[in-house]
Amino acid sequence: MLSTIPAYVREIITFTIAAVGAVLGVINLWLTWKRERLRLKVVPKSFFGVSSESGTPDPDFYFTTSKGEKLPKYLCVDVINKGIATTVTEVGFLLRGTSDRFVITDQFPPRRIQIPFRLEPHSSVTVYADAFEPEVLPELAKIKCAYATVASGKCFTGRSQTLRGLPKYSDVVAD
pLDDT score for 66: 77
Q: Where are the domains of the chain?
A: 2-34, 37-171
In words, the CATH class of domain 37-171 is mainly beta
Average pLDDT over residues 99-116: 85
For residue 101, pLDDT over 90 is answered with no
pLDDT score for 126: 93
Does residue 114 sit in helix, strand or coil?
coil
DSSP state of 58: P
Least confident of 57-61, 89-93, 112-116, 149-153: 57-61
Q: Among 100, 113, 48, which residue's Cα sits nearest to residue 74? A: 48
Tell which phi-psi region holds residue 131, choosing left (phi > 0), alpha (psi between -120 and 50) or beta. beta
pTM of this prediction?
Answer: 0.75
- Span 136-150, pLDDT tens digits: 777 788 889 999 999
Quote the mean pLDDT of the chain: 85
Q: Give the distance, in angstroms, between the CA of residue 135 and the centroid of all CA atoms in the same chain.
A: 27
pLDDT score for 80: 95
- Residue type for 80, please? I
Paired with 127 in beta bridges are: 77
